[in-house]
Chains A and B, each alone.
Chain A
Amino acid sequence: DTGVSQNPRHKITKRGQNVTFRCDPISEHNRLYWYRQTLGQGPEFLTYFQNEAQLEKSRLLSDRFSAERPKGSFSTLEIQRTEQGDSAMYLCASTRGHDNSPLHFGNGTRLTVT
Chain B
Amino acid sequence: AQSVTQLDSQVPVFEEAPVELRCNYSSSVSVYLFWYVQYPNQGLQLLLKYLSGSTLVKGINGFEAEFNKSQTSFHLRKPSVHISDTAEYFCAVSYTGNQFYFGTGTSLTVIP
Residues of A within 8 A of B (CB): 4, 6, 33, 35, 40-45, 48, 55-56, 91, 93, 97-100, 102-108, 110
Contact = CB atoms under 8 A, between A and B. Distances in A.
Contact of B43 (A45, A55, A97, A106): A106
Interface of B: 4, 9, 32, 34, 36, 41-46, 49, 51, 90, 92, 94, 97-105
Interface centre among A4, A41, A44 (most CB of B within 10 A): A41
A30 to B, nearest CB: 12
Given A107-B42, A108-B42, A33 B104 contact: no
Across the A-B interface, give the 9 residue pairs with the lowest CB-CB distance, nearest first.
Answer: A105-B43, A42-B102, A105-B44, A100-B97, A107-B43, A100-B32, A43-B102, A42-B104, A100-B51
A108 B45 CA distance: 12
B41 A110 contact: yes
A88 to B, nearest CB: 13
6 contacts: A40-B9, A43-B44, A45-B99, A93-B43, A105-B44, A105-B45
B88 to A, nearest CB: 9
Nearest to A42: B102
Contact of A4 (B4, B32, B43, B104): B43
B15 to A, nearest CB: 25
Nearest to A58: B99
Contacts of A91: 43-44
Contact of B34 (A33, A41, A102, A108): A102
B103 A42 contact: yes
Nearest to B90: A42
A10 B110 CA distance: 28
Nearest to B36: A105
A35 B90 CA distance: 14
A59 B82 CA distance: 40
